Structures are given as C-alpha cells and as structure tokens.
Structure 1
Amino acid sequence: MSEVLAVFEQPNSIKNFLKRDSNIAFLAGGVAGAVSRTVVSPFERVKILLQVQSSTNSYNQGIFQSIRQVYREEGTKGLFRGNGLNCIRIFPYSAVQFVVYEACKKKLFHVDGYDRQEQLTNTQRLFSGALCGGCSVVATYPLDLIKTRLTIQTANLSTLNRSKAKNIAKPPGIWKLLTEAYKSEGGLKGLYRGVWPTSLGVVPYVALNFAVYEQLREIGIDSSDSRPPWKSNLCKLTMGAVSGGVAQTMTYPFDLLRRRFQVLAMGGNELGFKYSSVWDALVTIGKTEGFSGYYKGLTANLFKVVPSTAVSWLVYEIVCDSMRNW
C-alpha cells in the first residue's frame, strides 16, 4: 500500500509506475483482450448458440444466417448480448495471461522479454503459455460461466426458453445469475461448474497461441525494423491470426465441452444433452452426433478467434510500445 501511495507523491512517479514491465503487460493485455472481443462479439454469441444446441434446434442455417436470425429476433443488442460482461471478464483474463507469460520469461527462464536477441525455446514457450492459461482460468472462471448463460438465455434454442416467456421479456442480469448459481448449485462449486473441461481446452490453447505467435514473431519481426509501420502491423495481424487459428482448431473439442458443461444446470435434457463426466461427454457426443459433433460451431469460432487473436496481439504490441516510449 505504501508503494502505491508513494507513486502519487513524487514527480513523474505515475509515469514510472506505469512503465514497469509487469504493469505494461497487465494494462496492454487487458486493453487488447477487451478490444479484440468486442470486434467479434456477434460471432462469439452465434458460436456459443451453435455449441449448446441439439441438432433439432433452430440455429442450423450457417454462421451469417444465424447472425441475421439473432438480429431479427433480438436486434443489435442481441448481437452483443453478454459482451459487457465479456469485457469485464476478458480484461483481467487477458491481462493475467500476459503478466504471467512475461514473468515466466524473466523469473523462470531469465530472458529479457523485450530484447529480441534473447528468445525462449519452444518448450519454454509452451510451458509458460500453459501456466498463464491455467492462471487466467482460475482468476476469471465464474464470470465466464455467467457470460455463457447470459448469452443463451434469450435465444430460441428449445422449450427451455419458449416455456419461460417472462424470462425472455426480462432475463435475469449478471448479479442475479451469479447469486442464483452460488445459492442453488453448491456455492463455490456451482460458480466453477465446467472448470475442468474449460482448463483442458484453455491451457493447451493458450500454450499453442503463445508458442506459435512467438515463433512466427522471431522469424517475421526480428528483421523487420526497416519496414514501414503499416507493414509491420499487417505482419503482426497475420501472425496473430495464424497462431489463433492453429491453436483453436487443435483444441476445439474441449471448448465445445466447456460450453456444454456450463449450461447443464439450465436444462441439459431440454437442450438435448446430459453428461456425468468429461469422458461420458466425449463418448456420448461421438455416439449421438458423430465425429462432426466434436467440431460443431468450429467455423463460427474461427470467424471469431482468427480476427480476435490477430487484433489482440496487434493491440498488445502497440500499447506496449506506446507505454514504453511515453
């Protein structure tokens, strides 16, 4: 506390405080996450609707057709339903990832994260990415759970919603969903429902995202100091898109499980599925929906993840450079 108070007692102390490496990573990571998720919010919502519905529900006409359907039924607000909470969640989620990753570089492997002559090995990148992915899940999971439920509660998925017209007219808000989950689903356990399949998906996804991007950055950016800024930024966008696409495609089945476990308590039987464990979910999906069932909503997810990851890495790099040069 005394350290924070001292920041406001000395000239230029606020600037010096913000220019610390950990604070730069936290602020830049948070801003990058919030901006990138807002850009792709309509795809995020449709992806979740495709993931949690059964094969007989109404969102089966493709990505853009589903977006148009959401717009017809709920208007512009429907396309961004849950995005406010998503930004509240994604700021610390993304910030924690970048802070932990930079800390791993310096504290565990003694590599200067901003010196391009020093680089982590791919094994070190995967380990650091996995650790920051796990930390971000633990820190923000209850908000992710509520965001998912907020996203689907007004959608025309099944009798789950059609039988609750009152809730469609005025669905419960963030605080009510949080308190209901805590009170009726076993306290803290209820707020972390689905955290295991979420971790199975997020940890390798973040590990691959960081490892692929850092490898591409080592190849594509280190020799690009003479490029004009727009070419350098385009290169960063491309590398972010590739890293996000590769990571998400390889880990997607667990992202699907993550969403389904999060909404089980809302009426899994009516939505068309009910699982007792992660293994039971994997076996059941294979039997009832085939191999394609593991990748339901993948196309919509790639429409979200590829630009989102690209924007996230670009914004992170720009904010970091701006804060260091302030």
Structure 2
Amino acid sequence: MSSVIEAELDTSSIKQILKHDSNVAFIAGGIAGAVSRTIVSPFERVKILLQVQNSSNAYNQGIFNAIKQVYQEEGVKGLFRGNGLNCIRIFPYSAVQFVVYESSKKHIFGVDGVRRNEQLTNGQRLFSGALCGGASVVATYPLDLVRTRLSIQTANLKNLQKSKAKSIVKPPGVWELLCKIFREEGNIKGLYRGVWPTSLGVVPYVAINFAVYEQLKEFMPNSKVNGRSTWNENVCKLLIGAISGGASQTLTYPFDLLRRRFQVLSMGNSELGFHYTSVTDSLITIGKTEGFKGYYKGLTANLFKVIPSTAASWLVYEFVCETMRNW
C-alpha cells in the first residue's frame, strides 16, 4: 500500500515539475522545432544550395527541379542530409526561444500570457522576440554552422569536375567536422564564423515572428472546450503562424542569405565564386555582381520551407503546451 502511495506521489511530483511554465515552454518549443523542420527538410536543403551557389551553378531550374536533382544525385538521404543534426540543433534553439520569450513576459514585463486579458504591447513583443532570438543563436550557432557545411559538401554547386565529385565519397561526420573547424579555423572563433550576419537576420526575424503571431492571435475567438483548442481554432493558428513566418522571413531574408555565405567562405572561394571581407562589403558586392535579385536568391525555396514550418511550429507548440498543462 505504501509503495502505491509513494508511486502516486512521485507521479504527482513529476507532473508538477513538468507543468512549471519554463519546463512546458522548453519541452513544447523543442518538440515544435524538431517536428516543423523535419516536415520541410528537402526545401531547407535546396534553399541552402541556392543561397551559396553563384549565377553559373547547377541548381537554377526551379525549386522542385532542384529537389528532383538532389534526389537523383543523392537519393532520399540527400533530401534529408543534415536534418538529423538540424533536429539536434533546433530542439534547444527553438526551446531557448520560447523559454526566454515566456520568461521575458513574466519576469521583465509582469505579464501572464496564459490569460488573454494580459498581453504584451507590440513594442514589448518585439523586444522579447529579439532577446530570445539572440539567446538561441548564441546557444546553438556551432551546430548551425556544421549543418550548413554538411548540406553543401556533397552537392554539385559548380558543375564540378568528375574527379572532384568522385573524391567526395564519404563526407566527414558531425563531430569530425566540428573538430576540424575548431582546429583549422581559429578555435572558438571558427565555430562562430558568420555569427554577426546570422544575428542580424535571426534577431529581427524572431522578433517580428513572435510579434505578428501574438498580435494576430488576439483577433482569434476563444473557442476552447475543456481547456483544449477546437478544430477551427487550430486551423486559425496554422494560418496566422504561416502569415507571421512568411512576413518575418521576407523582411529579413537578405541577412539570412549572408548568414549562409559567411558560414561557407572558408570552404573554397574559387569553387563558390564569392569572397567578402565584411557584412558591408558583402552587401555591396552582391548588389554589383548579382543585382537586386541576388539579395533574394533562394527566397521562394525558403518561403516553401518557412511558411509551413512556422505554421506547424506554432501549432505543435500550442498543442503540447495545452496537453502538458491539462495532464
């Protein structure tokens, strides 16, 4: 009898721990990030390839043709290359964002976001979103760098010579690549190569994403049944998540492009066709050599990824939060 009581107490204690606001946000945010990125992994891979290639490269026949080409050259694994690492990276990346955002709500602005009559102002949302965006970059950037390298190292970015292509039989793994970057590219500095242009893109992107989503969410009717969202409410969350993701990504996309290019600069300037000395230099060079369209190279592929990814992320986050709080 005592063992049963102890088991019930242990279960109750676990539930109380899991229901803590920070733990709910961390778990729900991590799951939301992993699920949403896996859904759109092929678009993510193609987007990176489009971003880092120059105008004479091979992936220039449209998004779906590029996906088809990757499939023909590398099979199904090619479409999801780097996704395992991306999920490992995105779980803490997404989790940190939601934890910091919810903590900013509660501890900086004294707002309990669970109650609809207590909401942040748009300025406070932008500040909190920028804070959580910066925190997530610092926490997970080395994994993002490695994931980008993994995504392009087996790809045909320049109609490479057959001898070159044949030499890429088995690319280095995650740990091997991390150690190589650390050893050959300046230790910690190498692992954070491109973090400045990344922050210029991620911080405003996350800030706008959170601000737009929460603003649009205020217009949704409260139609929960027994603490759970109805089907109509879930559809609305998908729609406003898609809008927030599309708007924030379009506004900040040039910096996302710079983020990828700075991450791969050391992999071979002659192969990739560009070299920049600073963020300012990169913006000027892209404008001169690639025109205005150069700033938005890969945007369409990115929107195919970001819109469903952000929509799924917000829906999964809200669902997991509701499930954990009602457990």
Same fold (TM over 0.5): yes
CA distance in 2, matches of 1:158, 1:179: 27
CA distance in 2, matches of 1:278, 1:313: 32
Say how many residue pairs are matched.
319
Q: Which one-letter code corresponds to 2:299 in the other structure?
A: L
Change (3 A) 1:136 1:162: farther
Secondary structure of 2:26's counterpart equals helix
Q: What is the match of residue 158 of structure 2? A: 158
Residue 224 in structure 1 maps to residue 223 in structure 2: yes
Q: Which one-letter code corresponds to 2:223 in the other structure?
A: S
Q: CA RMSD in A?
A: 1.7
CA distance in 2, matches of 1:279, 1:207: 23
Secondary structure of 1:151's counterpart equals helix
Percent identical residues:
74
Q: Which one-letter code corresponds to 1:153 in the other structure?
A: Q
Q: What is the match of residue 273 of structure 1? A: 274
Q: Deviations over 1:167-198 (max 9, x none)?
A: 52111110111000000000000000000000
Q: How is 1:133-282 mapped onto 2 (pairs within 5 angstroms)?
A: 133-158=133-158, 163-165=163-165, 167-221=167-221, 223-225=222-224, 229-282=230-283
Q: Which one-letter code corresponds to 1:283 in the other structure?
A: I
Change (3 A) 1:229 1:167: farther
CA distance in 1, matches of 2:152, 2:41: 14
The answer to whether the 8 A contact 1:253-1:294 is kept is: yes
Q: Deviations over 1:127-163 (max 9, x none)?
A: 0000000000000000000000000000001266855
Following TM superposition, by how much is the alpha carbon of 1:270 offset from its aligned partner in structure 2, in angstroms? Answer: 1.6
Residue 54 in structure 1 maps to residue 54 in structure 2: yes
Q: Which one-letter code corresponds to 1:33 in the other structure?
A: G
CA distance in 1, matches of 2:312, 2:41: 13
CA distance in 1, matches of 2:236, 2:158: 44
Q: What is the match of residue 4 of structure 1? A: none
Structure 1: gaps of 5 or more residues: 1-6
Q: Which one-letter code corresponds to 1:115 in the other structure?
A: R
CA distance in 2, matches of 1:197, 1:150: 20
Secondary structure of 1:220's counterpart equals coil
The answer to whether the 8 A contact 1:125-1:211 is kept is: yes
State TM-score, norm by structure 1. 0.95
Q: What is the match of residue 129 of structure 2? A: 129
CA distance in 2, matches of 1:161, 1:236: 48
Secondary structure of 1:260's counterpart equals helix
The answer to whether the 8 A contact 2:238-2:312 is kept is: yes
Following TM superposition, by how much is the alpha carbon of 1:229 offset from its aligned partner in structure 2, in angstroms? Answer: 1.6
CA distance in 1, matches of 2:8, 2:280: 54
CA distance in 1, matches of 2:58, 2:264: 18
Q: Deviations over 1:39-75 (max 9, x none)?
A: 0000000000000000001000000000000000000
Structure 2: gaps of 5 or more residues: 1-6
CA distance in 1, matches of 2:181, 2:15: 42
CA distance in 1, matches of 2:273, 2:159: 11
Q: What is the match of residue 296 of structure 1? A: 297
Q: Deviations over 1:229-256 (max 9, x none)?
A: 2111110000000000000000000000
Q: How is 1:27-106 mapped onto 2 (pairs within 5 angstroms)?
A: 27-106=27-106
Following TM superposition, by how much is the alpha carbon of 1:113 offset from its aligned partner in structure 2, in angstroms? Answer: 1.6
The answer to whether the 8 A contact 1:155-1:161 is kept is: no
Q: Which one-letter code corresponds to 1:236 in the other structure?
A: K
The answer to whether the 8 A contact 2:67-2:79 is kept is: yes
State TM-score, norm by structure 2. 0.94
The answer to whether the 8 A contact 1:43-1:300 is kept is: yes
The answer to whether the 8 A contact 1:105-1:111 is kept is: yes
The answer to whether the 8 A contact 2:58-2:159 is kept is: no
CA distance in 1, matches of 2:211, 2:60: 34
Change (3 A) 1:161 1:113: farther
Following TM superposition, by how much is the alpha carbon of 1:10 offset from its aligned partner in structure 2, in angstroms? Answer: 4.1
Q: What is the match of residue 321 of structure 1? A: 322
Change (3 A) 1:228 1:91: closer
